[in-house]
Chains A and B, each alone.
Chain A
Amino acid sequence: MAAPRRATQRAAPSTAPAAAGPGAAKASVAGVEQKLDVLTLVRLREQLKQQFMECSTVVDAGEESIPDQVMEEGLIEATVEELEREMEQAKISFQNKTLALHRVQIMDALRTKLRQNDDDSKLILETIKRILMLSTAAIEFQKQAREMEEKLNDIKRKRLSLKQAGEKKLLQIHTMKKKQKEELEGIEVGEMLKRIRRNLQKETEMTTLIQNIFQSIIIGSRVNWAEDPALKAIVLQLEKNVALI
């Protein structure tokens, strides 16, 4: 839609050294040009090599491999993950190496500086000594802190075990007390039951005896008990009671 505008501008190659010195001796100029030509040629050769490599890479990348089997999605994903992991590893190792390189460079610079033995290096030495002292102090304190923590942990553990033992003992006491009480109750209940049974038996025997006596009295007195309802009730009742037992 919008008409693009084209302006081509070309800049001449600035081989300035070759153009310098028009008044110089012809032989030297020729020699300089010769050397520069070789240099330029070598540079151009490097350029061409790089460009060729790029083009061939593009051609290689453009080739499509025809899969003769249907590749599963999972396989492709697995390979992609694998490659990504490798890339991550490469990145990490590169960063580590850069870090290590930086450290080595710094140490080297420090060492050369220290060898010069002037004011700055004295300051650096002082700082390094102070760093060392502080680090050793820090390590010492950390060790002490760790030991105290260990002791604390031991004490806590002992307390925990004691508490558990105490709990166990209490439980034992509790169960024993309960058992005793139950036994006591059982005994009492048994005693009471026996007593009650004995009483009951005695009473029933007495009642039976008294009933029998009444029966014999009534029968022996040759009274016609069937006529009198009161006497009838008594005799029948007695019969009933005797039958029950």
Chain B
Amino acid sequence: MSVVRPFDKLPVLNSAAILMVGTDEDLQQQLAQTILKEKKDFKISIHLATSLPLPAERDHIRPRIDLIVFMINVQSKYSFKNIEASLAHVDANFFLGKVCFLVTGVGRVNRCSVEMSAVRKLGEAYCSPLIYCELELEGIRISTAQRLLRMLQICAGHVPGVSALFFSSLMRSSNDE
């Protein structure tokens, strides 16, 4: 099956899996390392991919994916188009809070080749929160890793009383008021 579904497999006890999709492999590796260095009390498995669909032959080994992070580099149109194409291979049930968009490269405004309005519309169309970060800086990387870790905990159901559906509160911006 080429479509990633949220609840097709049983969860493994005390563990969670995060899937990161993006064209920038170095940044992905760095962020993955930072996430692993964080203090946590459950098993975490990070899957990195440049695009979906994931190859079908490894499907039975793969655990249940709890959170998908799409990394968009605002400075390259290719990454944006790649992410848009990959979004078609994600099941609709994922977009109830288990998907998040990570937007990098916003710091250098004169090298942005993707319109910010297009990114924002993507986030609104898929009902998922956008997180802006500059992953080259150590401090921001660590804080993003902590944030993603917390989101992963909630998406995997480790936090009683809080469900992934609450992430819609992250999408409310000051423009809405």
Contacts and interface: CB of A to CB of B under 8 A. Distances in A.
Interface of A: 1-15, 44, 46-51, 53-55, 58
B13 interface: yes
Interface in B16-44: 25, 32, 36, 39-44
B34 to A, nearest CB: 12
B14 A13 contact: yes
A9 B32 contact: yes
A242 B57 CA distance: 140
B161 to A, nearest CB: 8
A13 B51 contact: no
Contacts of B158: 47, 50
A13 B41 contact: yes
Interface in B111-159: 156-159
A4 B54 contact: yes
Which 7 A/B pairs are nearest by Cβ-Cβ distance?
A51-B157, A4-B49, A50-B157, A46-B160, A2-B51, A58-B7, A50-B160
A5 B13 contact: no
B11 interface: yes
A51 B43 contact: no
Given A11-B43, A50-B159, A54-B163, A5 B25 contact: yes
Contacts of A53: 157
Interface size range on B against A: 35 or more
Interface of B: 6-7, 11, 13-14, 25, 32, 36, 39-52, 54-55, 58, 82, 93, 156-161, 163-164
Given A50-B157, A50-B160, A6 B48 contact: yes
B39 A14 contact: yes
Contacts of A48: 13
A55 to B, nearest CB: 6
A77 to B, nearest CB: 21
A49 B49 contact: no
A10 B46 CA distance: 8
Contact of A4 (B40, B55, B159): B55
A3 B163 CA distance: 33
Nearest to A7: B48
A58 B64 CA distance: 15
Contact of B50 (A2, A12, A55): A2
Given A9-B32, A51-B157, A44 B46 contact: no
Contact of A47 (B48, B49, B51, B160): B160
A24 to B, nearest CB: 21
Contact of A10 (B25, B40, B43, B163): B43
B23 to A, nearest CB: 8
Given A2-B50, A6-B48, A6-B58, A47 B157 contact: yes
B71 to A, nearest CB: 14
21 contacts: A2-B82, A3-B50, A4-B50, A6-B47, A6-B54, A7-B46, A7-B47, A8-B46, A8-B47, A9-B45, A11-B36, A11-B44, A14-B39, A14-B41, A47-B14, A49-B160, A50-B159, A50-B163, A54-B157, A54-B163, A58-B7
